[in-house]
């Protein structure tokens, strides 16, 4: 294979100093060159590397033919001197500052001042720079001819005034793939192959490790049995152990199969497979180095899952991680934010640093919009801007060969900062919608197996149909996978309570499990219940007979809730993406139907018609002001554009002439008056059915489509 190395060509043994040279030779060359030219250098690396890099550079300068500059190490440790008693009573910070001052003002030429604890010396407080940091900054600028070699941990940020001291900032994070073969000894390589070694199969698990940590892990397996084709499991066992040893705290190694554990959503699965998993599989099996680099270039490293709450966005992220054998770090957007200066950015740096150490890794930012909303659309402390910039910096800092992916979840993809959606960042956007009929059926089957509950085909179909509409009719929120999960958990609890063996689930059990925690609303007076029955019957009759309304699924006056005493559930419209004027007018007519039914059968109107009237007015206003659905006013809009230039239902009317405003209001009123008359005429025409439905609701509380069809003797009114 093109990326197989003969084991005999690998080093026989490696010391830590050898490993440092093998892993970072070109970087050390650059650092040595810049320091020799009198340019101060800042190295960003883990603390474990600091002393090894210092020693490597010191050896290089000593080996220079003309004798290179000396390296003066500022450690803050107590030194043998006449002031031993004073040093013992000093803090580490005080000794660091004192030694730094002595080095800067010593006047010694041809000397490099090495600062291994620069990030500690210049730490910041929550309100700004500490007194020690200000003193250190002053010292660093005191002698213009002083030459510095600084070290900082990637988890911490240096103040800009300190960073500016260094003309070159060089990150040494992890190891590059091309250096990996030079960091593995022959005896270690034989654990993975008989005569040749493929470093690429190992690289994805160790890309975030520094050279010293990598050597420590590989030495751990030196005494294991060598690989033989007869027992290939030994290699897989070692890879699994290496995977466990590279995990850091606060990460999870999930076990979610994309096909088996995630029900439905076939299109989403196909997109994930096509855009990510197939490309990664091709990379893993390719023998062509150039093709591998090409694939790494095009694989999306940033993904957005967007859709309503509870639809499984995080579950899909975990399924991707399982397919990649990747760790998952789930970060709550709101929890990252801090009111203290710099702390939110530090939280982000720490998350990315941990993910790189545990690669392959996924970072999931839940509620990404909480800090990455489009600029100018939020009213926060201002920290959101710097958090977005920090995230972009971290994402842009990935090497192409690193297996680190960033997934953001949001309910409002349109609100995200456009900088995040540019190619190379969150370039893949996947919509996780509320589950459709086939999806809900598949989700239920997954939970049936999980909870060992057997639903008959009839009961499962009933549950699928019952969860096809809105769980919250007022806010237009549909049933999600989370609701189905809660329903199945409720059924399992009921089975355990009855203690009669497997539950023979009925439709009533489904109804009970779907109600909120099984609680019942307040007991209504008969007169109140009758008013609700009349009101909902008015909505239902019109929704059934009007030609452009979606099919009814359920009418109920037994919601168990105080804020929604009854509702009519309609199916999802067949044309989900195109809505016509006729459909909007029928919607308004249905909204006004409850009010008109109360007028006809009760002779008065209750306050229950308030929200219907409000929504009817809003739709009529939208038709005239935003959609130009007025033959008198023509193709004109009158709304104030929302943020970003797009219109929205909740937008306000822009300033227009008083006469124009009067004409707009008249057109809105015409629609409302016309649909009120139409509602009145339809209900008068079908008053026998209205009264029968009222009685059935009073006695049965809930009716499905079949019950309504029976009232109308199966007569159909819908147009194909």
Classify the C-alpha dihedral 63-65-67-69 as positive or negative. negative
List, edge to edge, every strand of the sheet that includes 327-332: 327-332, 361-366, 404-410, 302-306, 428-431
Question: Which two structure tokens, joined as six digits, stand for 611?
Answer: 């929200």
Closest to 130 measured CA to CA, from 87, 50, 138, 336: 138
Distance CA(333)–CA(347), nearest Å, equals: 11
Phi first, then psi: give them for residue 551, nearest 5 degrees. -65, 140
Is 701 buried (19+), middle (13-18) or exposed (0-12) by CB count in 10 A? middle
Residue 115: CB partners within 8 Å, gap ≥ 6? 74, 100, 121, 148, 149, 150, 151
Whether cis (ω within 30° of 0) applies to the bond prior to 360 is: yes
Distance CA(468)–CA(434), nearest Å, equals: 9
Closest to 512 measured CA to CA, from 490, 486, 479, 480: 490
Classify the C-alpha dihedral 192-196-198-199 as positive or negative. positive
For residues 651 and 640, the answer to whether their CB atoms sit within 8 Å is yes
List the alpha helices (DSSP H) in 479-525.
481-498, 507-514
Question: Which two structure tokens, joined as six digits, stand for 238?
Answer: 């070692």
Distance CA(595)–CA(538), nearest Å, equals: 8
List the alpha helices (DSSP H) in 89-232.
92-105, 118-121, 131-140, 160-163, 186-189, 199-206, 211-219
How many CB atoms neighbour CB 350 within 10 A? 15
Q: Tokens 């030196």 correspond to what residue? A: 222
What's the Cα-to-Cα distance from 204 to each of 34, 201, 357, 686, rounded to whole Å?
A: 32, 7, 11, 70
Distance CA(249)–CA(356), nearest Å, equals: 13
For residues 313 and 415, the answer to whether their CB atoms sit within 8 Å is no
Distance of CA 20 to the CA centre of its chain: 37
For residues 596 and 538, the answer to whether their CB atoms sit within 8 Å is yes
3-class SS of residue 538: helix
Classify the C-alpha dihedral 352-358-359-362 as positive or negative. negative
Distance CA(52)–CA(50), nearest Å, equals: 6
DSSP output for 632-658: TT-S---BPP-TTS---TTPPBPP--H
3-class SS of residue 720: coil
171: left (phi over 0), alpha (psi -120 to 50) or beta: beta
Q: How many degrees, rounded to 5, is the angle at CA 675 between CA 673 and CA 681?
A: 105
Closest to 132 measured CA to CA, from 93, 90, 88, 78: 93
Phi first, then psi: give them for residue 39, nearest 5 degrees. -105, 125
Q: Which of 296, 401, 536, 596 is catalytic?
A: 536
Active site residue 625: no
How many CB atoms neighbour CB 670 within 10 A? 14
Residue 55: CB partners within 8 Å, gap ≥ 6? 17, 20
Question: Which two structure tokens, joined as six digits, stand for 186?
Answer: 């022959």
Question: Which two structure tokens, joined as six digits, stand for 254?
Answer: 């999930």
Active site members: 536
């Amino acid at each position: 294979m093109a990326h197989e190395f003969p084991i005999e060509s690998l080093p026989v043994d490696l010391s830590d100093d050898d490993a440092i040279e093998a892993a970072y030779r070109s970087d050390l060359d650059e650092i040595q060159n810049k320091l020799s030219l009198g340019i101060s250098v800042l190295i960003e690396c883990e603390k474990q590397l600091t002393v090894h890099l210092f020693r490597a550079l010191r050896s290089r300068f000593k080996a220079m033919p003309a004798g290179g500059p000396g390296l003066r190490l500022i450690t803050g440790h107590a030194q043998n001197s006449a002031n031993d008693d004073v040093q013992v009573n000093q803090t580490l910070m005080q000794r660091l500052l004192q030694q730094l001052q002595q080095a800067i003002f010593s006047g010694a030429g041809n000397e490099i001042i090495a600062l291994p604890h620069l990030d500690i010396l210049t730490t910041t407080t929550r309100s700004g720079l500490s007194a020690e940091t200000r003193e250190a900054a002053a010292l660093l600028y005191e002698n213009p001819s002083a030459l510095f070699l600084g070290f900082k941990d990637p988890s911490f940020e240096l103040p800009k005034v300190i960073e500016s001291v260094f003309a070159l900032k060089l990150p040494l994070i992890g190891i590059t793939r091309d250096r990996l073969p030079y960091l593995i000894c022959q005896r270690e390589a034989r654990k993975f192959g008989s005569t040749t070694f493929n470093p690429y199969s190992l690289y994805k698990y160790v890309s975030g490790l520094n050279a010293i940590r990598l050597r420590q892990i590989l030495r751990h397996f030196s005494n294991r049995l060598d690989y033989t084709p007869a027992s290939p499991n030994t290699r897989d066992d070692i890879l699994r152990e290496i995977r466990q040893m590279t995990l850091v705290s606060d990460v999870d190694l999930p076990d979610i199969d994309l096909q088996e554990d995630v029900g439905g959503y076939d299109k989403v699965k196909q997109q994930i497979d096509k855009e990510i998993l197939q490309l990664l599989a091709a990379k893993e099996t390719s023998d062509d180095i150039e093709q591998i680099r090409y694939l790494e270039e095009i694989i999306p490293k940033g993904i957005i899952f967007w859709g309503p709450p509870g639809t499984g966005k995080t579950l899909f992220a975990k399924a991707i991680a399982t397919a990649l054998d990747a760790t998952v770090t789930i970060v709550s957007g709101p929890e990252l934010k801090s009111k203290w200066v710099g702390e939110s950015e530090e939280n982000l740096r720490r998350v990315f640093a941990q993910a790189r150490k545990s690669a392959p890794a996924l970072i999931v930012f839940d509620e990404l919009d909480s800090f990455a909303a489009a600029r100018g659309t939020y009213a926060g402390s201002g920290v959101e801007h710097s958090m977005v910039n920090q995230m972009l910096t971290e994402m842009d800092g990935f090497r192409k060969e690193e297996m680190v992916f960033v997934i953001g979840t949001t309910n409002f993809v349109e609100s995200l900062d456009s900088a995040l959606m540019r190619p190379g960042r969150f370039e893949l956007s996947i919509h996780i919608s509320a589950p459709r009929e086939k999806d809900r059926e598949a989700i239920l089957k997954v939970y049936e197996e999980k909870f060992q509950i057997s639903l008959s085909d009839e009961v499962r179909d009933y549950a699928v149909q019952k969860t096809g509409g809105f769980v919250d009719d007022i806010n237009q929120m549909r049933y999600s996978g989370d609701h189905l999960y809660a329903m199945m958990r409720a059924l399992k609890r009921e089975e355990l309570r009855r203690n009669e063996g497997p539950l023979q689930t009925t439709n009533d059990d489904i109804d009970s499990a779907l109600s909120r925690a099984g609680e019942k609303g307040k007991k209504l007076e008969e007169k109140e219940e009758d008013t609700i029955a009349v009101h909902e019957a008015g909505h239902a009759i019109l929704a059934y007979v009007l030609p452009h309304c979606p099919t009814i699924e359920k009418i109920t006056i037994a919601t168990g809730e105080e804020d929604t005493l009854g509702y009519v559930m309609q199916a999802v419209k067949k044309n989900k993406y195109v809505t016509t004027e006729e459909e909007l007018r029928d919607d308004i007519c249905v909204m006004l139907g409850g009010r008109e039914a109360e007028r006809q059968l009760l002779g008065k109107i209750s306050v229950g018609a308030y929200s219907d009237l409000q929504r009817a007015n809003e739709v009529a206003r939208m038709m005239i002001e935003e959609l130009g659905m007025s033959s008198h006013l023509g193709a004109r809009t009158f709304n104030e554009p929302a943020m970003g230039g797009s219109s929205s239902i909740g937008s306000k009317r822009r300033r227009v002439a008083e006469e124009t405003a009067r004409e707009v209001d008249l057109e809105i009123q015409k629609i409302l008056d016309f649909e009120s008359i139409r509602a009145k005429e339809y209900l008068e025409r079908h008053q026998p059915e209205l009264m029968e439905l009222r009685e059935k609701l009073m006695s049965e509380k809930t009716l499905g489509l079949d019950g309504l069809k029976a009232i109308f003797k199966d007569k159909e009114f819908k147009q194909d």
